[in-house]
A and B are shown apart, each in its own frame.
Chain A
Amino acid sequence: MSVAREFTKGLWDEIPPFRLVLGLCPTLAVTTAAQNGMGMGLATTFVLLGSNVLISLLRNVIPKKVRIAAYIVVIASFVVIVELSMQAYFYPLYKVLGIFIPLIVVNCIILGRAEAFASKNKLLPSIADGLGIGLGFTLSLTFLGAVRELIGAGTLFGRYVMWESFQPLSIMVKAPGAFVCLGLILCLMNWIGAMQKRRQG
Chain B
Amino acid sequence: MRDLIKMVVVLTVICACSALVLSFANQATREQREYQVLKYVKEPSIKAVLTGYDNDPIKDRVTLKMGTDKKGKPIRKNIFPAKKGGKVIALAYGSAATGYHGLIEVMVGIDINGKITGVSIMTHTETPGLGARVVEPAFTGQFKGLVLSDALKVKKDGGKIDSVSGATFSSRGVVTAVRQALESFSKIKKEVIS
Contacts and interface: CB of A to CB of B under 8 A. Distances in A.
Contact of B21 (A62, A63, A65, A77): A77
B12 to A, nearest CB: 10
A73 interface: yes
A70 B11 contact: yes
B39 interface: yes
B30 to A, nearest CB: 8
Interface string B67-102: 000000000000000000000000000000000000
A77 B22 contact: yes
B184 interface: no
Contacts of A77: 18, 21-22
B70 to A, nearest CB: 30
A74 B18 CA distance: 7
A189 to B, nearest CB: 37
Contact of B33 (A65, A69, A88): A88
A66 B11 contact: yes
B120 to A, nearest CB: 21
Interface string A35-70: 000000000000000000000001001110110011
Contacts, number: 53
Nearest to A65: B7
Interface stretch (A13-21, A78-86, A192-200): A78-86
A80 B14 contact: no
A69 to B, nearest CB: 6
B32 A74 contact: no
B7 A74 contact: no
B193 interface: no
Given A73-B15, A77-B21, A91 B29 contact: no
B39 A84 contact: no
A166 interface: no
Interface in B15-43: 15, 18, 21-22, 25-26, 29, 32-33, 36-37, 39-40
Interface string A7-33: 000000000000000000000000000
Task: Please classify the interface of chain A as helix (H, G, I), strand (E, B), loop, or mixed, using the class held by over half of its residues.
Answer: helix
B3 interface: yes
B10 interface: yes
B33 A84 contact: yes
A28 B74 CA distance: 45
B6 interface: yes
Contact of B25 (A58, A74, A81, A95): A81
A85 B26 CA distance: 9
Given A66-B11, A70-B14, A89 B32 contact: yes
Contacts of A80: 22, 25
A170 interface: no
A63 B6 contact: yes
A91 B22 contact: no
A176 interface: no
A167 interface: no
A63 B7 contact: yes
B180 to A, nearest CB: 30
A183 B25 CA distance: 40
Contacts of A63: 3, 6-7, 10
B194 to A, nearest CB: 31
Given A81-B21, A81-B22, A88 B10 contact: no
A69 B11 contact: yes
9 contacts: A61-B10, A66-B10, A70-B11, A73-B11, A81-B25, A84-B25, A85-B29, A87-B33, A91-B40
Closest 4 CB pairs of A and B: A88-B32, A88-B29, A91-B36, A77-B18
